[in-house]
Amino acid sequence: MGDSAVESFEHEASELLNLMEESLLRLENEPDDDTLINAIFRAAHTIKGTGGVFGFDNIVEFTHIVENVLDRVRVGDTQIESNLIAVLLSCRDHMGVLVQLAINGDQELSDEIRQEGVSLITQLSPFLDPHATIAGQADDSNLIDKGHSEVFDNWHISMHFDREVLQNGMDPISFIRYLRRMGEVSVTTLYGELPSLKITEPEHCYLSFEVNFEGEVDCQQLESVFEFVKEMSDIHILPPTSKYDLFAEMIEQLPDEEMRLSEILVKCGAVTDAELQEVLLKQSQLLSDVLSQASGEMEIKIGQLLVDKHVVKQSVVDAALAKQERIMDQTKSANRVIRVDASKLDKLINLVGELVIAGASSNLLAHKLGDEKLLESMSSVGRLVDDIRDNALNLRMVQIGETFTRFQRVVRDVSKELGKSIKLEISGADTELDKTVVERIGDPLMHLVRNSMDHGIESADERRIAGKSEQGILKLNAFHDSGSIVIEVTDDGRGLSREKILAKAKERGMNVDEVNMSDNDVYHLIFEAGFSTVEQVTNLSGRGVGMDVVRRNIEALRGAVDIDSKLGEGTTVSIRLPLTLAIIDGFLVGVGGSSYVIPLDTIHECIELNAEEQKEVAVQSYINLRGEVLPFLRLREFFNDRNSEVNRENIVVVQFGNQKAGFVVDELLGEFQTVIKPMGKILQKLKGISGATILGTGDVAVILDVPNLVQRATEQAEKMYGRMHRADSSKPSNDEAPILH
């Protein structure tokens, strides 16, 4: 098998295993949902079948046992219960290990993995047929009983001959004798068409025969027995009842190619070519009759004809129709979705970024030349570049729902480990963001979810005493806000204690101002390295490792984390992230001899300062903007730009989350489409900068890290003027801050 085929199997198996996990978790709460049961069974069956194609025997052998249990659940012989769900989830994990080993070419299982498989099969044994042999009990070296042989019941042959069959030299008894040479025969003679002796013709055949035949043959061999009497008889050969299960299984194993219903039935062996041709002829005759009468049903289905003529059972036709429908759905899906290597997509985004830069350069040159036709042409090109940029970025956008869904299993397992009853509620699963962001946000979310379950949500006894429901609620929510995506992790637990956090901070020697620190400032102390208020260390938390990692990882994505909590009611941790890490719309500003880009979606408004106002705010760190306290930061001072100052300055008011701040700049240069280029290793730790871009002139402009700068502006204002004015309560008076008109 080629590497590409194995990669396809790996991708398909991963999707099916994720589907199994998601469906099993849902099934625990909806045990009567047949759709979920069938989805789990089909996933296991497909993994087993495809693994068999590649010769991955370990996958086939283990999954076969799992499939048997799922089949008993499907037919109602085994009931869904919590213990079964737990074992099936563990089996799903073991299947994932076997798949990964097979992909890596490791067909020899280690003793540890083999024993794990045997242990799981032993746990499955109570849910299997009590008369079935459980693999591994007699010989741990085998996971299934390879010596098992299936027992078939008898073939059934209906033999109805024409009246003139004897006159044409054919003796019906000779066919029965021939069948006896092939196997065991039991014959029932039917006399229903035998007339009275007075009108009986000695050379006519009035008898019919129903034959039960037992032998190792197929339908084609039995059909060949009656080859010379086909024109003078009506012969129906029905396979053993147990054969129909094999037909259904063989139909499932057929290649996923578009086929007619008749082709599927012939390929699986349920219908022979001769039987098919006979039914097709009958179908043609019926269609001719319908057309000649110009009435009736125009569609005459071959499947129904095969059933009516007792060629095949309805269950086999249904299986073939299901296969046909699934192939059609897969074909439609394949036509809608194309799998593209991530590196190719990244290369496309980079090329689009270069196109944006080249477009900006050409547009600048067109403006310098002042040619109207060239400007009009560049305007059209610019619109097309914008469309290409937006569509290219949309290719990288994925829904966050898949990431959220993975936490169903985490919440289930951790809640059982902690002895707590916790329910996960998900909303905003269809919210889209950059694939790179989704991949890198998984670990921070994992820390937050586990902390909420361990620290936040109380035990059942504590919740009962507090007047709460014994079952805790953990919520994951995502939504778009001001060009960013916000992800919230909310629990209805005990909340954060200001006193405990401050006491722990003092214990660790941290310099804290108990009186003037807001609750939000206090809550943010938990993001300090090594900070923990837990008295007892557990397997999950308590070592002070995790929350500082959360903040660092989020800040590395140009995001910010905020926390809100009410003692006794719960805690919400909000993560605010950019939608994409590649290309953004920016606003270009000038400070001294340098250019800076501010993400456009963070800008609230721009204000021009006159000479008098510039003098008034020269010594201030915050201003009164229409009654609202607004801290600001002078970019010239922050970046230590010593170029000559200009006569007139501007304030760009930015907003990130609930916080606002102003950036004092020299020039407002307008909107600018920005391709984000990462900083080199030497410059990566510079504060206030999230990247760089190339302007149309070829110059480099710095992209500002708005969350970081807003925080610095706020801290600077508070440091200078203390805690007299809080953004959520007080307003400055006229003598406290200059008024911007």
Other Cβ atoms less than 10 A from the Cβ of 262: the count is 20
pLDDT digits (tens, 9 = 90+) for 527-560: 887 676 555 545 555 444 467 888 888 887 878 8
| pLDDT value of residue 613 | 67
Segment 259-273, tens digit of pLDDT: 777 676 766 666 666
Most confident listed range (283-292, 433-442, 448-457, 636-645): 448-457
DSSP three-state, residue 563 = strand
Look at residue 740 in the predicted model and tell me its pLDDT. 45
At 572 the pLDDT is 93
Q: Which CATH superfamily is domain 3-127 in?
A: HPT domain (1.20.120.160)
Does the pTM surpass 0.85? The reply is: no
Least confident of 402-411, 550-559, 658-667: 550-559
pLDDT at 76: 81
Is 70 exceeded by the pLDDT of residue 423? yes
Average pLDDT, the chain: 77
Cross-strand partners of 157: 211, 237
Q: How confident is the model at residue 491 (pLDDT cuts 50, 70, 90)?
A: very high
- Residue 283 reports pLDDT greater than 80: no
Tell me the residue length of the chain: 741
Q: Hey, is 480 helix, strand or coil? A: strand
Q: Would you state the torsion angle of the CA atoms of residues 385, 388, 393, 394, taken in this order, to the nearest 10 degrees? A: 140
Residue that has been written with the tokens 């998984």 in this structure = 442
- What mean pLDDT do residues 723-727 have? 45
Confidence class for position 189, pLDDT limits 50, 70, 90: confident
Of 538, 532, 556, nearest to 436 (Cα)? 556
Residue 313: DSSP 8-state: -
Output the six-digit token pair for 309: 């003529």
626 torsion bin: left (phi>0), alpha (psi -120 to 50), beta (else): left
The reply to whether 3-127 and 398-578 are identical in fold is: no
Query: What digits encode the pLDDT tens for the residues 308-353?
Result: 666 666 666 777 777 677 666 666 555 556 677 777 887 888 888 8
**pLDDT tens, residue by residue, 41-70:** 888 888 887 777 677 888 888 888 898 888
Considering only 148-152, 250-254, 346-350, 566-570, which range has the smallest mean pLDDT?
148-152
Query: Hey, is 118 helix, strand or coil?
Result: helix
In 3D, which of 36, 246, 61, 79 has the Cα closest to residue 145?
A: 61
Backbone dihedral angles phi then psi of residue 279, each to the nearest 5 degrees: -70, -35
CA 471 to chain CA centroid, nearest Å: 27
Rounded distance between C-alpha atoms, residue 541 and residue 362, angstroms: 56
Q: Which two tokens stand for residue 41?
A: 């069974």
- Phi, psi of 632, deg, nearest 5: -140, 165
Specify the residue for token string 């219908």: 271
Residue 119's contacts (CB-CB under 8 Å, 6 or more residues apart) are: none
Residue with tokens 């042989």: 149
H, E, C per residue of 241-261: CCHHHHHHHHHHHCCCCCCCH
Query: Are the beta carbons of 300 and 291 closer than 8 angstroms?
Result: no
| Residue 181 confidence class, pLDDT cut points 50, 70, 90 | confident
What is the three-class DSSP state of 643? coil
Residue 685 near residue 693, CB atoms below 8 Å: no
**Is the model's pLDDT at 729 over the cut of 80?**
no
Q: Please state, as a whole number, how many other Cβ atoms lie within 10 Å of the Cβ of residue 86.
A: 16
* Whole-number Å distance between alpha carbons of 439 and 138: 45
* Helix-helix angle 372-395:342-369, to 10 degrees: 160
Which tokens sit at 626? Answer: 């229409």
3-class DSSP assignment, residue 339: coil
Report the alpha-carbon distance of residue 98 to residue 108 in Å, rounded. 10
**Candidate from 110-124, 505-519, 581-595 with smallest mean pLDDT:** 505-519
Q: Which CATH superfamily is domain 398-578 in?
A: Histidine kinase-like ATPase, C-terminal domain (3.30.565.10)
pLDDT at residue 106 tops 50 = yes
For 500-511, what is the mean pLDDT?
82
Residue 241: what residue type? T
> Measured between alpha carbons, how far is 158 from 152 in angstroms, rounded to an integer?
19
Does the structure show a pLDDT above 80 at 652?
yes
pLDDT band at 98 (very low <50, low <70, confident <90, very high): very high
Give the pLDDT band of residue 286 (cuts 50, 70, 90).
low
Q: Given pLDDT bands bounded at 50, 70 and 90, which one contains residue 653? A: very high
> Amino acid identity, residue 69?
V
**Residue 615 pLDDT exceeds 80:** no
The pLDDT score that the predictor gives to residue 739 is 41
Average pLDDT over residues 500-526: 80
| Helices 111-124 & 82-103 angle (0-180, nearest 10) | 150
* CATH class belonging to 583-721: mainly beta
The helix (H) or strand (E) run that includes residue 700 is: strand 700-704
Domain boundaries, the chain: 3-127, 155-333, 342-396, 398-578, 583-721
pLDDT digits (tens, 9 = 90+) for 435-487: 888 888 888 898 899 889 988 899 999 999 989 999 999 999 998 876 678 99
pLDDT band at 618 (very low <50, low <70, confident <90, very high): low
pLDDT for 562 equals 87
Confidence category of residue 94, pLDDT binned at 50, 70, 90: very high
For the chain, give percent helix, strand, coil, nearest 5.
50, 20, 30
